[in-house]
Amino acid sequence: MQDIYPSRCKSEPEVLPRQEPVARAAWRESAPLSQAQIEHFDSQGFLVLEDLFAADEVVALQDETRQLLADPSSLDPETVITEPGGSEVRSIFAIHRQSALLARLAADERLAGVASFLLDDQVYLHQTRLNYKPGFNGKEFYWHSDFETWHTEDGMPRMRALSMSVLLAENTPDNGPLMVIPGSHKSFITCVGETPDDHYRSSLKKQEYGVPDQWNLARLAHEHGIVAPTGKPGTVILFDCNTMHGSNGNITPFPRSNAFMVYNAVSNRLERPYAAPRPRPDFIAAREVEPLVMQSGSLARAAQVERAFA
């Protein structure tokens, strides 16, 4: 497919227009979102959904993620990413393959059904991760567009993917919440600097390539402002694959943790990387397309059943 978003190939950054819609379906009676929510996502590039889950579901998710963090030895070691220069766990990738409950969360129609509606296609999981931003030592995630990485390093052809961050701890203004630049998803900021071999070995700790230039970041921030959605555990923050986002470090004693699911349209499956020596490993970017079968019902019940048969 022709590369309409060429990045990491020129000596100067460029601002290219987004050449495709954001919300790809119009409101209808059966839509899982209101007209206002669809419009907000389309124009702002993000949306916050509150109270999707019952209290006992949130507790079941917190228990599960606490156990995974407490005993990382049960996890595939290459999926466990530690903080730069430290041993604190920063992320656990491919979490839907290592936890039945988080696989069930990812397939829940309250999440996957919304993604499928907005992307107007069947969806599969491009990437999942648990993000922990430990108290005192949680480091930042510098500004970036996920799509810039998924396009150049994973070969994602079009902007037809979105992320959902399910908050598992209170995200406050102080403990390094996600920051987005509303409206930034409408233009593609190309990055300078060729992708190094095996870039993911460093980028998942601290991203150095695929980082937008300060002039364009400043321009976007001055034009659109910066929003840092906060919320109680169970809050869901959706954002478009090309929305500029980042998060500050966490020097408070209060950890910030979330479950992060990336839904890609089945019609947008990965091809060859557009600007990297070779594809990234499957635990970061799924190359097998397995359309999600929507699940419904209580996550707390699913956790109970899981424990009963474990």
The contact set with ligand 6CS (CB under 6 A) reads 127, 129, 141, 144, 146, 149, 203, 207, 284
Q: Measured from the CB atom, is 37 or 258 closer to ligand 6CS?
A: 258
Q: How far is the CB of 298 from Fe ion (least distance, A)?
A: 30
E strand spans, the chain: 15-17, 46-49, 80-82, 89-93, 123-133, 141-144, 161-167, 178-180, 187-189, 236-240, 245-247, 256-265
**How near is the Cβ of 127 to Fe ion at its closest, in Å?**
10
Residue nearer to Fe ion on the CB measure, 165 or 175: 165
Cβ closest to ligand 6CS, residue 33 vs residue 46 = 46
Residue 221 Cβ vs ligand 6CS, minimum distance, rounded to whole Å: 18
- Residue 207 binds what, of Fe ion, ligand 6CS, none (CB under 5 to 8 Å, by partner type)? ligand 6CS
Q: Which residue is nearest to ligand 6CS (CB)?
A: 146
d(CA 217, CA 221): 6
Q: How far is the CB of 141 from ligand 6CS (least distance, A)?
A: 5
Residue 119 Cβ vs ligand 6CS, minimum distance, rounded to whole Å: 17
Cβ contact 266:124 at 8 Å: yes
| E strand or H helix at 97 | none
Residue 112 phi, psi dihedral angles, 5° rounding: -65, -30
199 binds, among ligand 6CS, Fe ion, none (CB under 5 to 8 A by kind): none
Q: What is the number of helices (H) and of strands (E) in the chain? A: 8, 12
State which residue, 104 or 151, has the beta carbon closest to ligand 6CS: 151
Contacts of 130 (CB under 8 A, 6+ apart): 65, 68, 69, 91, 92, 95, 102, 168, 257, 258, 259, 260
Which residues make up the interface to Fe ion (CB under 5 A)?
A: 146
Amino acid at 176: G
Shorter beta-carbon distance to Fe ion: residue 57 or 146: 146
**Is 157 within 8 Å of 271 (Cβ atoms)?**
yes
